[in-house]
């Protein structure tokens, strides 16, 4: 059952009886509404996947009122209204704003799913469902409509510009069309809707009329009258992820479902496009099994009613009981909230504790999943600016495990001489979908599981719980920021990283040091630098006093 959190505020648009004679009444449109679906609308589809999900969704959206093609002209004047100018509507593929009552040279009706590939008027009646379905009919510049023709949709990096449609491209040799970025998402969700809504049940075999089964794939085919296939599914799925629904698209969906007033008539088609309400449904229904996306991951592991809740499914939210954000778990092909340390990135240590290998998992088709992986290294890992991208060569990568969706890599640092193996590794993951809200998460194997807060977290502990650091010596930080040092005794540290460390010494007071300047200490009380003489320890420590240019026992300072 959907939470009350998602109950919509239903706002129907009413105009006076003189609507067609008095366009200014359109100024009453409310663009601030909540256009979420009614709380119970998708209840039959909750917690389903695969064929069961498709069947449930089709059952939800198929029973709708079939309106006339003439109603489309009335509809687009309202559902495609320009939010900045109520006297205008916005054209598909160009974004141009033109007068609602402009003549047909300014705009006409575009069948996003072409008539010649199943959305036709037939031989008996013009009232076949797909032909006049508001969801896929948009106002469009007539020349652009003609240029688009019945071409399939795809990326066209070398396509030609389209006259009167800035940003859109065309490839006439291959019968392909690429909408501008602002329309890619809405076109994708329209085409996905048509595939889901029209499954061939309205096809009348006896007289060869009705709406055939509309099927999205990678190629086009209409050799069978009862099944019409159209392209390109992979691009449309990607556009759906990259370009999420905007307010205008959500309002349009809401009005088609709830209805709108034209004069004294209420026009209601009465169904919704599920992919506008829940874009995640597209990958749940259409994605092949050869790669995973954030949308399909969410659809698999989370209940539908949670998809709108950012506190549940935001990529950077930490799952309950898990030490990492959802994005890291997704990037490692893990079930959410498992908290399984052994399946997360880890470092291999050899040669007296030096780091030599970094193991992590990546999707086999990371780009299709919207992911980009970066291995980073640092010799001073608590200093954020010190991390650099590790540009490893293919020879330094070993595949240690594979699955249909992912592979585990081991990146080796073993080519460095043993004394130089001081590098620490972490994984930075970028998710590029959607394009207007990309996310980035960092997984640090050491810092993630370190609960001491110590600046010495990157050094392993011995059997007594002490850490052998390469710049401070042997320390026991079990009660950090109080530490026990083999040479300096009991100290108190204050530091955000290892570059700038304040030390409170019971004998010398406050001192300043850091990884790059130790064993030198600055004493503010004495306005001098002190250099610790190794192999001396408390209470008989010796320091070199740079102001006095002499060595002194700690008690003499």
pLDDT at 523: 97
On whether both 189 and 48 belong to a single domain, the answer is: yes
pLDDT in tens, 23-60: 333 334 555 678 999 999 999 999 999 999 999 999 99
On whether both 92 and 229 belong to a single domain, the answer is: yes
Q: Which residues contact 102 (CB under 8 A, 6 or more apart)?
A: none
pLDDT at 31: 59
Q: Which residues contact 347 (CB under 8 A, 6 or more apart)?
A: 355, 357, 358, 359, 424, 425, 445, 446
pLDDT at 320: 82
- Domain range for 409 is 314-449
The answer to whether position 460 is within a domain reads no
State the average pLDDT over residues 246-264: 95
State the average pLDDT over residues 327-346: 90
The answer to whether position 382 is within a domain reads yes
User: For residue 385, what are the CA distances in angstroms to 324, 377, 436?
Assistant: 22, 11, 26
On whether both 351 and 229 belong to a single domain, the answer is: no
Where does a domain end: 251, 266, 297?
297
The answer to whether position 303 is within a domain reads no
pLDDT at 417: 60
More confident residue, 16 or 186: 186
pLDDT at 443 over 50: yes
- Counting the structural domains of the chain, the total is 3
pLDDT at 6 over 50: no
On whether both 378 and 250 belong to a single domain, the answer is: no
pLDDT at 207 over 80: no
Where does a domain end: 417, 449, 481?
449
The answer to whether position 456 is within a domain reads no
pLDDT band for position 274 (cuts 50, 70, 90) = very high
Are the C-beta atoms of 270 and 65 separated by less than 8 Å? yes
State the average pLDDT over residues 433-462: 89
On whether both 150 and 290 belong to a single domain, the answer is: yes
On whether both 332 and 190 belong to a single domain, the answer is: no
DSSP string, 41-57: TTGGGTT--HHHHHHHH
The answer to whether position 402 is within a domain reads yes
pLDDT at 289: 81
pLDDT band for position 497 (cuts 50, 70, 90) = confident
pLDDT in tens, 234-243: 999 999 999 9
* Rounded-to-integer distance, Cα 3 and Cα 46, Å: 12
DSSP conformation class of 318: B
> What is the β-pairing status of strands 85-90 and 81-82?
antiparallel
* Rounded-to-integer distance, Cα 338 and Cα 535, Å: 48
* Rounded-to-integer distance, Cα 259 and Cα 134, Å: 11
Are the C-beta atoms of 242 and 232 separated by less than 8 Å? no
Strand order in the sheet with 473-479: 466-469, 473-479, 482-485, 489-495, 501-505, 509-513, 520-523, 528-532, 542-545, 550-553
* Residue bearing tokens 């990157």: 458
User: For residue 539, what are the CA distances in angstroms to 247, 471, 488, 554?
Assistant: 71, 21, 8, 7
pLDDT band for position 165 (cuts 50, 70, 90) = very high
Are the C-beta atoms of 281 and 57 separated by less than 8 Å? yes
pLDDT in tens, 50-70: 999 999 999 999 999 999 999
Mean residue pLDDT of the chain comes to 88
On whether both 40 and 144 belong to a single domain, the answer is: yes
On whether both 143 and 68 belong to a single domain, the answer is: yes
The answer to whether position 288 is within a domain reads yes
On whether both 351 and 285 belong to a single domain, the answer is: no
More confident residue, 355 or 137: 137
On whether both 357 and 487 belong to a single domain, the answer is: no
State the average pLDDT over residues 442-461: 86
Please report, for the domain that includes residue 373, its CATH number. Answer: 2.60.40
The answer to whether position 422 is within a domain reads yes
DSSP string, 167-234: EEEEETTTTEEE--HHHHHHHHHHHHHHHHH-BSTT-BTTTTBS--EEEEESS-EEEETTEEEEE-HH
More confident residue, 347 or 184: 184
The answer to whether position 493 is within a domain reads yes
On whether both 416 and 337 belong to a single domain, the answer is: yes
Where does a domain end: 449, 478, 499?
449
pLDDT in tens, 513-550: 998 899 999 999 999 999 999 999 999 999 999 999 99
pLDDT at 15: 26
On whether both 278 and 394 belong to a single domain, the answer is: no
């Amino acid at each position: 059952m959907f939470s009350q959190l998602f109950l919509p505020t239903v706002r129907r648009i009413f105009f006076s009886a003189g609507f067609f004679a008095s366009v200014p009444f359109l100024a009453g449109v409310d663009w601030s509404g909540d256009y979420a679906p009614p709380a119970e609308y998708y209840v039959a589809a909750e917690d389903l996947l695969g064929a069961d999900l498709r069947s449930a969704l089709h059952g939800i959206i198929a029973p709708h009122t079939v309106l006339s093609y003439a109603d489309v002209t009335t509809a687009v004047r309202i559902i495609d209204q320009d939010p900045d100018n109520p006297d205008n509507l916005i054209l598909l593929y160009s974004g141009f704003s033109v007068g609602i009552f402009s003549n047909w040279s300014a705009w006409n009706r575009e069948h996003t799913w072409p008539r010649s590939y199943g959305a036709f008027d037939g031989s008996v009646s013009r009232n076949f469902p797909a032909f006049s379905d508001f969801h896929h009919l948009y106002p469009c510049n007539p020349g652009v409509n003609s240029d688009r023709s019945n071409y399939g949709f795809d990326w066209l990096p070398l396509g030609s510009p389209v006259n009167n449609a800035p940003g859109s491209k065309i490839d006439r040799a291959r019968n392909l069309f690429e909408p501008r970025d602002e329309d890619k998402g809405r076109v994708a969700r329209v085409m996905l809707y048509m595939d889901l809504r029209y499954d061939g049940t309205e096809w009348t075999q006896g007289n060869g009329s009705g709406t055939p089964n509309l099927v999205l794939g990678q190629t086009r085919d209409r050799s069978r009258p009862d099944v019409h296939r159209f392209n390109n599914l992979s691009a449309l799925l990607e556009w759906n992820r990259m370009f999420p629904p905007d307010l205008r698209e959500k309002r349009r969906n809401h009005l088609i479902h709830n209805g709108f007033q034209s004069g004294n008539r209420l026009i209601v088609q009465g169904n919704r496009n599920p992919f506008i309400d829940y874009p995640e449904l597209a990958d749940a229904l259409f994605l092949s099994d050869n790669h995973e996306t954030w949308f399909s991951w969410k659809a698999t592991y989370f209940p539908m009613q949670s998809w709108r809740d950012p506190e549940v499914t935001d990529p950077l939210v930490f799952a309950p009981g898990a030490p990492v954000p959802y994005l890291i778990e997704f990037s490692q092909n893990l079930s959410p909230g498992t908290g399984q340390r052994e399946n997360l990135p880890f470092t291999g240590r050899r040669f007296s504790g030096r780091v030599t290998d970094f193991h992590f998992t990546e999707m086999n088709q990371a780009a299709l999943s919207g992911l980009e992986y970066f291995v980073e290294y640092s010799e001073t890992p608590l200093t954020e600016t010190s991390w650099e991208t590790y540009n490893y060569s293919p020879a330094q990568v070993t595949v240690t495990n594979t699955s249909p969706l992912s592979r585990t890599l081991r990146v080796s640092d073993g080519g460095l001489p043993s004394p130089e193996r001081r590098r620490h590794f972490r994984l930075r993951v970028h998710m590029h979908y959607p394009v207007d809200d990309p996310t980035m998460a960092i997984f640090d194997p050491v810092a993630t599981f370190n609960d001491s807060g110590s600046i010495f977290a990157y050094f392993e502990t011995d059997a007594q719980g002490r850490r052998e650091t390469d710049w401070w010596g042997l320390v026991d930080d079990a009660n950090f920021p109080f530490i026990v040092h083999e040479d300096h005794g009991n100290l108190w540290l204050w530091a955000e990283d290892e570059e700038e460390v304040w030390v409170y010494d019971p004998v010398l007071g406050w001192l300043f040091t850091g990884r790059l300047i130790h064993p030198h200490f600055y004493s503010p009380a004495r306005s001098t630098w002190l250099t610790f003489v190794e192999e001396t320890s408390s209470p008989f420590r010796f320091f070199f006093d740079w102001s006095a240019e002499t060595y002194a026992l700690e008690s003499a300072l």
